[in-house]
Chain A
Amino acid sequence: MPLINFAAREINYKIVYYGCGLCGKTTNIQFIHRKINPDARGKLVSIATEEERTLYFDFLPLTLGKVKGMQTRFHLYTVPGQSYYNASRKLVLQGVDGIIFVADSQITRLDENVESYLNLWDNLLGQGDDLSKLAFVIQMNKRDLTETFSVEDLNELLNHTDSPVVPASAVTGEGVFETLKIVCKQVIAKTA
């Protein structure tokens, strides 16, 4: 549900990075913050615990600029991945327009990925969203590591919605903008 302010000629979309703890959500946002045109980015806000894990969210507003006279913005959020933070995840999901599910490709992280994926759909159904209006992209992260599942296997496991899939390595930035690009275009198409 984008916020469309016809009076102020503004439209804001909310994009959420979802996925288990340590899968690379914050790293995605930090890379975007570092590499994007500084004029297009707002302040990066992080609410973290003492161990520097995300507690509530990271938040980065991006300005696409004027499109057909409308100032168009994407507000990027991450959720905390650890299972005990589900209350915070639900808060961040309120009013979401697009989701990037970040999967950790490492073999040892299989259970965490599946748990997070199921938790996402639970929370979305719980907030009564019309899921056909929601943009959804899956990012297979940490492709630079060796002990990993193949993209095909992960796809079979986690892609029940037949959504676009982007292999990525958030530490090097590979696939980071590609993922964002796809979700942003989908968000606009779904609300058009």
Chain B
Amino acid sequence: MPKRKGLVINDRQLDLCDDLLQKLKEVSGSTFLALISTSGQPITTASDEYHPETLSLASLAASSFAATQQLARILDENEFTLLFHEGRALNLHVTQVTEQVLLIVTFGRETQVGKVRLYTQRAVEVLRQIFEVDEDEETPAMDADFESSAGRAIDDLFQDA
């Protein structure tokens, strides 16, 4: 039976990712960056003034990306590695980092698509290494304490109204 792999991010990985996203933002001239899981959950973001709603964004970007993969299959293409939307003031760029991680980059007219693509591709190679080191590790168990505390919180939050 195959294992259900969890995605676990440790301090070291998050620090490395945050540094890298910050650098990528500066050199590429992009406005907002996010790492998300392919199941639609945000991992971390980098931005200055522009703060889109990250939970919705992650869920929609992950499903759009997954849909383009299915499109590729139907068209007999091995994979589309990139999802790109061009808007009037803003462009959206989604790339696969690992099996479980995607990188979202948004940028405006201050920069060029080619520049963003080039730097993003380089960053993805580094990001891949950051995640691949630890992706095979066992998911550390949340202890029994967590389970009973969470149970109480669930009872409180989901009371019948």
Contacts and interface: CB of A to CB of B under 8 A. Distances in A.
A37 B11 contact: no
Interface in B28-63: 37-41, 43-44, 53, 55-56, 59-60, 63
Contacts of A92: 63
- The interface residues of chain A, by DSSP majority, are classed as mixed
A8 B41 contact: no
B154 A192 contact: no
Contacts of B37: 3, 95
Contacts of A72: 150, 153
Contacts of B11: 6-7
Contact of B55 (A1, A36, A61, A189): A61
Given A45-B59, A45-B60, A57-B63, A8 B14 contact: yes
B147 to A, nearest CB: 5
Interface stretch (B88-96, B105-113, B119-127, B135-143): B135-143
A87 B4 CA distance: 21
Interface in A154-192: 173, 177-178, 180-181, 184-185, 188-189, 191-192
B145 to A, nearest CB: 6
A123 to B, nearest CB: 13
Scoring A12, A129, A131, A180 by chain B CB atoms within 10 A of each residue's CB, the highest score goes to A12
Scoring B3, B39, B56, B145 by chain A CB atoms within 10 A of each residue's CB, the highest score goes to B39
A65 to B, nearest CB: 6
Contacts of B150: 64, 67, 72, 184-185, 188
A95 B38 contact: yes
Interface string A1-43: 1111111100110100000000000000000000111001011
Given A42-B55, A94-B66, A184-B150, 11 more contacts: A1-B6, A4-B7, A6-B140, A37-B157, A45-B59, A47-B60, A67-B146, A75-B40, A95-B40, A173-B160, A191-B142
Interface of B: 1-15, 37-41, 43-44, 53, 55-56, 59-60, 63, 66-67, 70, 100, 139-147, 149-151, 153-155, 157-161
25 contacts: A1-B7, A3-B6, A7-B9, A7-B10, A7-B13, A11-B142, A45-B56, A56-B67, A59-B40, A59-B60, A65-B157, A67-B149, A72-B153, A75-B41, A91-B66, A94-B39, A95-B40, A130-B3, A177-B159, A178-B160, A185-B150, A188-B147, A191-B141, A192-B143, A192-B144
